[in-house]
Amino acid sequence: MHTSGGLRSEEANGAAWEGGRGALVGAVKWGAFAALLGGVGYGLSPIYRGLTIQFKVFLQMSGMILGGCLEADHRIREYEAKLRMQKRILRDRAAWESFEKEYEETPNPKSS
């Protein structure tokens, strides 16, 4: 399978799942906040009460979509940073093991 951007399919699949979970969590959090604001607006504002139900639904969905997008983006960036850190740790560990192996193979000049 062809991959783009250096991502392997399991990395891309993991990023997609993480983004999906982030979108769901963000939509719930921001949706609850938008519903709270809608309730406050309904209780306090005659202008908000006069809006059509379609526009109120639009405002609610806008908050949920914004929250989903922001949280998904945040989670994907964290996932990528975690993958980069894991790759860096593996690369550093391999370099350190190579150095230790090379150091053990070199003769010690003081023991001669």
Q: 74-86 in b/e burial notation, b at 16+ Cβ within 10 A?
A: ebbeebeeeeeee
Q: What is the pLDDT of residues 46-91, one digit of tens each?
A: 999 999 999 999 999 999 999 999 999 999 999 999 999 999 999 9
Average pLDDT for 96-102:
86
Residue 111 has pLDDT above 70, yes or no: no
The DSSP output letter for 45 is -
Query: Over 70: is that where the pLDDT of 2 sits?
Result: no
pLDDT recorded at residue 11: 87
What integer is the mean pLDDT of 9-18? 90
Q: Which residue blocks in the chain are alpha helix, DSSP H?
A: 9-44, 46-49, 53-105
Assign 6 a pLDDT band (cuts: 50, 70, 90): low
End-to-end CA gap in the chain: 56
Q: Lowest-pLDDT range, 19-28, 83-92, 97-106?
A: 97-106
Q: What is the residue-averaged pLDDT of the chain?
A: 90
